[in-house]
Amino acid sequence: MSIVWILLIIAVAIAPLVSALPSEAQRYEAKVREHAMDRGVIVKLGSTPDIPARFRMPSDLSLVAYRRRRVDRHLSFDHPQVAVRSLGVWCSVPLEKPLTGSVLSLPDGAHIVELSEDYVSVFWDEKGNVEAVDKVITVIDSLVSDHGFE
């Protein structure tokens, strides 16, 4: 009977430690974000740009910004330019002009691209693997020198 009590006490002592361990999803997020940061990308948690309702963006998306600062500021931006994936097609906001080029190679989890005078950001759900992260980074690198989507 005393062995049962000893095992019960040990289980009670270990339970909080086990619950503090990261889950598989948390370990995956850490791995993906570490890979991105190793490649010089800033991972930013926070709010996404405001997207008009006509683009039919799901409201329950939890997106993370992968961002790279521009080496030289592009002062031609009076406000950030945004592109969204709406119904599977990339288009610019607010013109709704379909886009071509590197944004088409973004993984399915990418929903928003933002260009500003200081940085380029891709907002995505981090679903995929390290290859998906590499695709996002490749697109960011190709957009760093761009002056806009149009």
Q: Under 8 Å CB-to-CB from 96, ≥6 apart: which residues? A: 54, 55
pLDDT by residue (tens digit) across 129-148? 888 999 999 989 888 877 66
Q: CA–CA distance from 70 to each of 84, 118, 150 (Å)?
A: 21, 5, 19
- Please give the distance of CA 141 from its chain centroid, rounded to a whole number: 15
The pTM of the full predicted model, rounded to 2 decimals, is 0.80
d(CA 83, CA 98): 9
Amino acid at the residue 39: R
Residues 85, 128: contact at Cβ < 8 Å?
no
Mean pLDDT in consecutive groups of 10 residues from the start of the chain, 150 residues: 81 78 83 90 86 76 88 73 85 79 86 88 88 90 75
Main-chain phi, psi angles of 148, to 5 degrees: 165, 175
Amino acid at the residue 75: L
> What are the residue ranges spanned by the domains of the chain?
23-143
Predicted local distance difference test score (pLDDT) of residue 66: 93
